[in-house]
Chain A
Amino acid sequence: MSTVEFREVSKRFKNVEALRGASFKISDKTVTAFLGPNGAGKTTSMKLIMGFLKPNRGEVLVWGEEPWRNEDIRGRIGFMPEKPVYPVDIAVEDLLNHLAMLRRISRTDLRRIVRLVGLEKMVEMKIGALSRGYIQRVGIAQSLLGDPELLVLDEPTANLDPAARRGIIDLLKVLNKELGVSMVISSHIIPELQEVSNYAVFIDKGVILDYGYLEDLWRKYETEAAFHIEATDVNALGKILIEKPYIRSVKRLNGVLEVSIDPGHYRSFESLLMEMGHLVKSYSFKTTSLGDLYERVVRGRS
């Protein structure tokens, strides 16, 4: 069963059609980048997942249930809204304690979450005195209360400076690694979730352009991929690799080999590198950015 499924969902607000027949699935245990420009319908989708909105047409299913009908579903989801509105004149600790009380979670669990998101030194500060980056951390902390099975984070990096954005992306990576929880993260800054996500939903003007595992999408849209390889003998390795039919180019950059391969051969190439362990010291995988993939998806649709 999919964690989230939209079936021909339409949602209208007065004269604005925010979603138009949107259909997609989000698989279990994925970190999903929900990507699209401003006004694409991301926040509407997030709110539909949470059951805060009722679709005008179609069905939204979360673990097979309609969230606006079955409100118990929300107990299994952690949610961070796009524009978190917290009372500014109370301390971080008081807000989190209050919300933890609603979830009936212990102080020990709360302290663990506070540590995890890096808010230990801020708990006594008033929310109004926090920087945007730390307010987002408060948002993420409250979304983690109650050990949710799914995290829905609406634009967690919106309006942040680059350093704070970097901090949040790193935090999301840690959460994914430490908690192994499924996530749906929306962003209008298309490339930024590349490091975190393994699944994507692309949306524009209320229409779902495509969705799926990133690996499948890279292949489907024939995006290039490159490996950076550190070798014990760069020349010897280069000579071997250049003979492989699926390898497009081999370049030597500052003692590192940059190998560009046809999409669809990632796994076989990685196997080859394993076999040549005596020549390969280390390697890293670089695809084109999510932004390029998004552009290809948009072009593909038009």
Chain B
Amino acid sequence: MANRKLLSYSIAIIIANIISALFLIFFFYTGPASSIWSSIPLGFSIFIYKILISIQASRVGRELNTGEVQIYLAHTLTRTEYLLSALLVVGITPALVLVATYLTFLAIAAPLSYDVGSQLPYLFAELMMHATIVMALAIGGHENAASIVGVMLALFIGAIMGIPLFLLILFGSNKPAFYVAYAATLLVAMATPLTYRFTYSTIISSPLHSPATLPDPLLVLLLSTAAFIILWMVFFIRFKRRDL
């Protein structure tokens, strides 16, 4: 069981590293800005990891639905230990592995680039928030929804974020509509802080829009981090009383 999970991580790490290495070889030495060479392979890697996270969450959902969890709990695992192992498998491990992988490339390719290095906490929060959303579904016993919603979010979160952002820009001066659009943008951005950071950077570098109306990426990162910590605490409390 553990071997199969390790195998999927190993595959994800290898694929992510190959993509990063290819971009490093082809783009880094030819001169584009470090944030550009890093953001494209990182985007691919994040997508792969999000799919992996969704599959792992779905497995947890299946263990809960089929009663496989009873076997592990019957062998002295406590509910807290079980959920902690799920948190490690679904969230913390993939997030740390990708951060570590990316950090390795940074150390070699752009050791002094603050711009690239500052992406790391956003990257960690991005994967942890994704893990939190899919685990919320998995713990609720929605095994299929965890994988489907997970894949959909991995594919379309950028497009989803575009809607409130567009409204925010559109209703910039209209106060009640602005607040609604701002809250919606903030909410979606919290689910994907790194993507939001890229989007934010793109928008503010454009002459068409004033950055003052957009949520600050640092605020998004802090709220996102607080949100996944609080949500996981809720998961732990609720799981203690959940029927299995």
Contacts and interface: CB of A to CB of B under 8 A. Distances in A.
Contacts of A71: 73, 78-79
Contacts of A83: 66-67
Interface string A31-71: 00000000000000001001011100000000000001001
A72 to B, nearest CB: 8
Interface stretch (A19-27, A98-106, A241-249, A262-270): A98-106
Contacts of A54: 241, 243
B76 interface: yes
A191 interface: no
**Residue in B72, B241, B243 whose Cβ sees the most chain A Cβ within 10 Å:** B243
A74 B78 CA distance: 9
B74 interface: yes
B69 to A, nearest CB: 8
A277 interface: no
Interface in A68-90: 68, 71, 74-75, 77-79, 81, 83-87, 90
Interface in A122-152: 142-143, 145-146
A90 B1 contact: yes
Contact of A53 (B1, B2, B79, B243): B243
B4 to A, nearest CB: 8
A109 B135 CA distance: 37
A81 B243 contact: no
Interface in B35-89: 66-68, 70-79
Contact of B71 (A13, A47, A75, A142): A142
Interface string B1-37: 1100000000000000000000000000000000000
A182 B13 CA distance: 49
Contact of B1 (A68, A81, A87, A103): A87
B76 A74 contact: yes
Given A53-B244, A54-B241, A90-B1, A84 B71 contact: yes
B76 A81 contact: no
B5 to A, nearest CB: 11
A50 B1 CA distance: 24
Interface of B: 1-2, 66-68, 70-79, 241, 243-244
26 contacts: A47-B70, A50-B70, A50-B73, A50-B74, A52-B70, A52-B243, A52-B244, A53-B244, A71-B73, A71-B79, A79-B70, A81-B67, A83-B67, A85-B66, A85-B68, A86-B71, A98-B1, A98-B2, A99-B71, A99-B75, A102-B72, A103-B75, A142-B71, A142-B75, A145-B75, A146-B75
